[in-house]
Amino acid sequence: MHKQDGEEVEAEDISEALVKVDIQGPLSYKLIKEIYGAEVLRNRINPEKNMNFFSFNEVDLDGHKYYFSRTGYTNRWGWEIYIPVAKAEEDFKKIVSRALELGGLLVGLGGRDENRISAGAFGLPLMGQEYDPHHNPINAPLFEAAVDMSKEDFVGKAALQKALDEGVSKRMYIIISEGIVSGRGVYIVGKRIGSVTSSINSPNLSLEQRQAIGSKRKNVNDENGTAAIGLVWLYQSVFEQDAEGKDISEHEGKPVRIKAEFYREDAEGKPTGSAVIGYITQEGISPATAPKALKNIENL
């Protein structure tokens, strides 16, 4: 949508008037319904149905305006609720108390980060981490599925087309490593092939995935151990390609895992210290539930 000639547009920053709380997981529907009522979860166009994925509801409750968005960078069913400051403390206590009763946890951005990185086969990139002036959506794995460049016009098309015309080579992938490797260079057989943008320890890796690292670390190889997951930008794909130019991510039903080393780098960009080992993969960590129909959880 573009501003039309003669049209006046005003934008107001209301950030200071709102507090955002994310309620995520299979019991998020139940919790929100109990506290705010079922109406806030309905499709605003067709109230007989539930909200669509990535849609918003603007609701007046007790004389205050709330915003409920069926979003949240956790890869799980859930909502982000924008609560008026005047109601924030009261509502937050209600939300946390009920969540704890239902077996939930109060978590910070570290929990969100693990969930977004482990989402599906490619993770969920974040502005300021994966996306910056040098890395934009044309490099993302699902760009062609998400953006229809054949449309006559849309906001941002010219910028995307310019980037496409300059050529697409960088690729984003998930990594699994024996330890956290944020900001490190990615190397294969001594050659730098990219850099790590996000990395965090994950309890969601299977023992088989952790043992495939080849690490000697006890915490990695214990039955209930952990290893790290992350997202990397590579200069180009390191996977073999099929006849259509697509990455071959599986072989005989097993995921292709490409061994890599992750080094800190000095001011000149040269690797220093000992490497953390791991591999590049497209197998994914956790299946996505976020976009699935709410009928799966509305009666839990």
- Residue 112, pLDDT above cutoff 90: no
What are the distances in angstroms from CA 41 to CA 4, 45, 52? Answer: 33, 12, 9
Q: How many domains does the chain have?
A: 2
Residue for token digits 């097993």? 254
Please report the pLDDT score of residue 216 as a whole number: 96
Residue type, 237: S
192: left (phi over 0), alpha (psi -120 to 50) or beta: beta
Stretch among 72-76, 135-139, 276-280, 295-299 having the lowest mean pLDDT = 135-139
Sorted by sequence, the CB contacts under 8 Å of residue 272 that are 6+ apart come out as 263, 264, 265, 266
- CATH number for the domain including 251? 2.40.30.110
Share of the chain above pLDDT 90, in %: 70
| Domain match, 50 and 177 both | no
Residues 33, 74 share a domain: yes
Residues 130 and 277 in one domain: yes
* Confidence at 35, pLDDT banded by 50, 70, 90: very high
Let me know if residue 105 belongs to a domain. Answer: yes
Torsion of CA 164, 235, 214, 220, to 10 degrees: -60
The pLDDT score that the predictor gives to residue 182 is 96
Is the torsion defined by CA of 239, 237, 130, 145 positive or negative?
negative
What is the pLDDT averaged over residues 264-277?
96
- Identify whether 3 is part of a domain: no
> Is the model's pLDDT at 206 over the cut of 90?
yes
Give the pLDDT band (50/70/90) at residue 33: very high
Same domain, 91 and 240: no
- For residues 141 and 130, which has the higher predicted lDDT (pLDDT)? 130
Domain range for 273 is 121-135+170-281
**Based on the domain organization, do 128 and 98 belong to the same domain?**
no
Residue 100 pLDDT class (50, 70, 90 cuts): very high
Residue 187's Cβ-side half-sphere holds a number of Cα atoms within 13 Å equal to 19
Cβ-proximal residues to 193 (8 Å cutoff; 6+ apart), any chain: 186, 187, 234, 235, 236, 238, 260
Q: Domain containing 20 — which CATH number?
A: 3.30.1360.120
Mean pLDDT value of segment 210-221: 96
Residues 128 and 264 in one domain: yes
> In this model, does residue 176 exceed pLDDT 80?
yes
Q: Are residues 257 and 128 in the same domain?
A: yes
Confidence (pLDDT) at 1: 63
Do 126 and 265 reside in the same domain of the chain? yes
Confidence check: pLDDT of 135 > 80: no
- Average pLDDT rounded to a whole number, residues 28-36: 97
The pLDDT tens digits of the residues spanning 62-79 come to 999 999 999 878 888 999
Q: Are residues 129 and 232 in the same domain?
A: yes
Does residue 286 belong to any structural domain of this protein? no
> Please, what is the average pLDDT of the chain?
92
Residues 6 or more apart from 218 whose CB is under 8 A from it? 225
Residues 179 and 253 in one domain: yes
- Can you give the pLDDT at residue 228? 97
Highest mean pLDDT among 101-110, 117-126, 130-139: 101-110
109, 125: one domain: no
Cβ neighbourhood burial of 35 (10 Å; 0-12, 13-18, 19+): middle
CA distance 244 to 241: 8
Spatial distance between the Cα atoms of 186 and 194, rounded to a whole number of angstroms: 5
Cα–Cα distance for residue pair 288/118, rounded to 1 Å: 9
Q: Residue 241 — φ and ψ, nearest 5°?
A: -110, 150
Please list the residues that pair with 81 across neighbouring strands.
21, 68
Does 125 lie in the same domain as 67? no
Lowest average pLDDT, out of 40-54, 131-145, 264-278, goes to 131-145
Question: What is the arrangement of strands in the sheet containing 78-84, beginning at the earlier edge strand?
Answer: 18-24, 78-84, 64-69, 56-61
pLDDT band at residue 287 under the 50/70/90 scheme: confident
Residue 153 counted as domain residue: no
